[in-house]
Amino acid sequence: MSKQHIFRSGQNINPAEKLICSDHDEPFIFYCVDCDSVVCKRCAVKKHNRHNMSEINESVLELKAQLAQCVESSVKDLMNDIEHLQEEKRGYKSENKSLIMAINKDAKLMKDLIDQKSEELINSIKKNEKKNLKIMSTAYSELKDTFDRVDKIQMSIIDTAKLSDVALLLKIKQLQAKNDKIEKKKVPYILKDRYSRKEITQNEIGKLFGELYSRKTPKKTQTNYRQEERKYRCFTELRGYSNEDLKKTSKENQHRYSYKDGKTDSEETDSSEERHSNDSSFSLISQISSEWD
C-alpha cells in the first residue's frame, strides 16, 4: 500500500482476521475517535472506556459521503481540464489557420511580384528584339540591293568576253563608274541583351518570408485555468480502517470501480445511487472525449 494512503489498520486489528478483535475474539462494532482505531464491545468498556466513540456504520457513511464528494470534485476538475484542452485545441487550430493564410498571402504576393518582374525583363528583351530586328531587316534590304547591283556588274563583266578592245574599254569605264557609285553598307552592330544569372538559394527565399517561431500561450488566457499538475486523489478524515476493512464492512459495496491517478492504483467503493450520478459524469467525459477528433 502506498505510504500516502491515509487509511491504516487499527493497532488491535489482527491482520489475518481484521473484522474480529484478536484480544477478545469479538467483532468490531465501534470506532474510537480518540485512539483512531476500531474496537469491539469488550474493548469499548475496558481499554477505551469513556473514549469518544461512534458506531462503525455511521463512520462508514460519513466516509462514503466524503469520498463521493471528493470523487465528484475530481470529475469536475477532469471535465474542466478536458473542456479547457478542447478549447485550446480549437484556438490552436484556428490560429494555425490564420498563420497558413498569412504565409499563403505572402507567398502569393511574392509570386505575383516575381511574375511581374520576369514579365518586365522579358518585355524589355522583346522590345529590344523588335527594334534590333527592324535594324537587321533594313540592313538586309540594303545589302540585298547592293548585292543585286554588284551581281549585275559581275554579269556584265562576264558578258564583255566577245567585245572588241575599244568597246571593252568603254564598257569597263562604264562599269567602273557604276561600281564606284555603289555605297557598301556595313553589317549593323546589334546591342544584344545579356542576362547574368543569380544563384538562388533556399536561404535567400527564406529571407523573403516572415519568421516562424513558437511561443508560450499568453498568461491572460491562463487566468481561468490552473496550470499546476492536479492530483486526483481523495483524502478523507476518518481513520482506523484499511481499504480492505472498508470493503468488508460496507453493506453497499456491490459496486466498485477502479480509478487510476497515474501513479498509484486505488480501488474505491461507492453506493449504487452515487455510482449512478458519477456514472453520468463519466459518460459525459467520454462524450466530450469522443468529440476530440
Residues found near Zn ion in the complex (CB under 5 A): 21, 23-24, 32, 34-35, 40, 42-43, 48, 51
Nearest-approach distance from CB 8 to Zn ion, in angstroms: 15
Q: Give the nearer residue to Zn ion in terms of CB position, either 39 or 67.
A: 39
d(CA 135, CA 282): 88
Nearest-approach distance from CB 25 to Zn ion, in angstroms: 8
Helix spans in the chain (H): 41-45, 56-159, 165-181, 202-208, 243-249, 272-290
Nearest-approach distance from CB 39 to Zn ion, in angstroms: 6
C-alpha cell belonging to residue 80: 474542466
Q: Give the nearer residue to Zn ion in terms of CB position, either 22 or 132.
A: 22
Q: Give the nearer residue to Zn ion in terms of CB position, either 71 or 238.
A: 238
Task: Provide long-range contacts, Cβ within 8 A and 24+ apart, for 31-36.
Answer: 31/55, 31/56, 31/59, 31/238, 31/240, 32/240, 35/10, 35/11, 36/10, 36/239, 36/240
Q: Give the nearer residue to Zn ion in terms of CB position, either 12 or 278.
A: 12
Nearest-approach distance from CB 69 to Zn ion, in angstroms: 28
Q: Give the nearer residue to Zn ion in terms of CB position, either 23 or 142.
A: 23
Q: Give the nearer residue to Zn ion in terms of CB position, either 35 or 234.
A: 35
Q: Give the nearer residue to Zn ion in terms of CB position, either 51 or 233.
A: 51
Asked if residues 66 and 237 have their Cβ atoms less than 8 Å apart, the reply is yes
Nearest-approach distance from CB 45 to Zn ion, in angstroms: 10
Task: Provide long-range contacts, Cβ within 8 A and 24+ apart, for 10-18.
Answer: 10/35, 10/36, 10/37, 10/38, 10/39, 10/240, 10/241, 11/35, 11/37, 12/37, 12/39, 12/43, 13/37, 13/38, 13/242, 13/245, 18/242, 18/244, 18/245, 18/248
Nearest-approach distance from CB 44 to Zn ion, in angstroms: 8
Nearest-approach distance from CB 57 to Zn ion, in angstroms: 18
CA dihedral of 112, 117, 118, 120, whole degrees rounded to 10: 120
Nearest-approach distance from CB 20 to Zn ion, in angstroms: 9
Q: Give the nearer residue to Zn ion in terms of CB position, either 38 or 67.
A: 38
Neighbours of 204 (CB within 10 A): 10
3-state secondary structure (DSSP) of residue 27:
strand
